[in-house]
Amino acid sequence: MPPGSLTVVGTGYRVAGHVTLEARAHMEQADKLLYLVGDPVSETWIRDLNGTAESLEDCYAKGKPREVSYREMVERVLGYVRQGLDVTAAFYGHPGIFADPTHTAIRLARKQGYRAVLLPGISAEDCLFADLDLDPADRGWQSYEATDFLNRRPRFDPRCGLVLWQIGVIGEGSIAQTANREGLRELVRALLRHYSRDHRVVVYEASSYPVCDPVVERLPLRRLSEEDVSVMATLYVPPQRRRRPRSRA
């Protein structure tokens, strides 16, 4: 096995508070630390952990396809591994959820003979369970990326909870600053085939800071496309109510 290794970790969603002891140790001890986080406070904290810290944020650019940005991230990470360094790449949330570059980098590193591991982190879904007081074992759980949900129209059970991720960037192939309003309207039309107009849904966004509350907006489905939805927003569609069993004659 050649010198050099890759460890991919998650920083969770709350600044410094969600990172595991294992992930933090790898971040501190890495020969090279690369990171992609969503706020300046986390960035400052990461840079204080390790003087080699380098952001991957510059791989993004307005109008630049995400696939191109992801390839650049992977190549930069693996470039340091090939130099024989023990590299840690830190991504916000869980590094294996909605993070194409992490999986690609792990697979390529292993294929090229390097030791590569991906460690779990606290995801937006974990935060959602806690903030909305939900138990996925109660009625079942269904989870889709919103654009994929609209493109594939999978079969799902409205009697189970439904989570749709990235509802603010439906159909967007690059970075976006504002929500795609037409994408939201299309999503509402698709959901109205299965739920009533007045079915209550939740627009959710996990909080990055302990002093801030999460975004939890409950509203009728018909009003969703009129909302000021953030590009980081998630939609939770509660189960339809169980019908009462018919009484026997």
- For every residue of 111-128, DSSP letters joined together read HTT-EEEE-----HHHHH
Q: What are the extents of the domains in the chain?
A: 5-118, 124-237
Residue 247 has pLDDT above 70, yes or no: no
Domain spanning 5-118: CATH 3.40.1010.10: yes
Decide if 60 is catalytic: no
DSSP category for residue 230: -
Express as a percent the part of the chain with pLDDT over 90: 80
Token reading at 75: 């190549």
* Catalytic site residue from 92, 114, 195, 204: 92
Supply the pLDDT for residue 145: 95
Read off the DSSP letter of residue 226: G
Q: Find the catalytic residue in 66, 115, 139, 185.
A: 66
pLDDT digit string, tens, across residues 128-159 = 999 999 999 999 999 999 999 999 999 999 99
Q: Which amino acid is at 132?
A: L
CB of 10 closer than 8 Å to CB of 46: no
Extract the tokens encoding 194.
Answer: 């299965």
Query: Regarding the domain with residue range 124-237, which homologous superfamily does it belong to in the CATH classification?
Result: Tetrapyrrole methylase, C-terminal domain (3.30.950.10)
Catalytic residue list contains 35: no
66 in active site? yes
Q: Which among 70, 80, 195, 204 is annotated as catalytic?
A: 70
Please check whether residue 166 is in contact with residue 183, taking contact to mean a CB–CB distance below 8 angstroms: no
User: Which pLDDT does position 248 carry in this prediction?
Assistant: 52
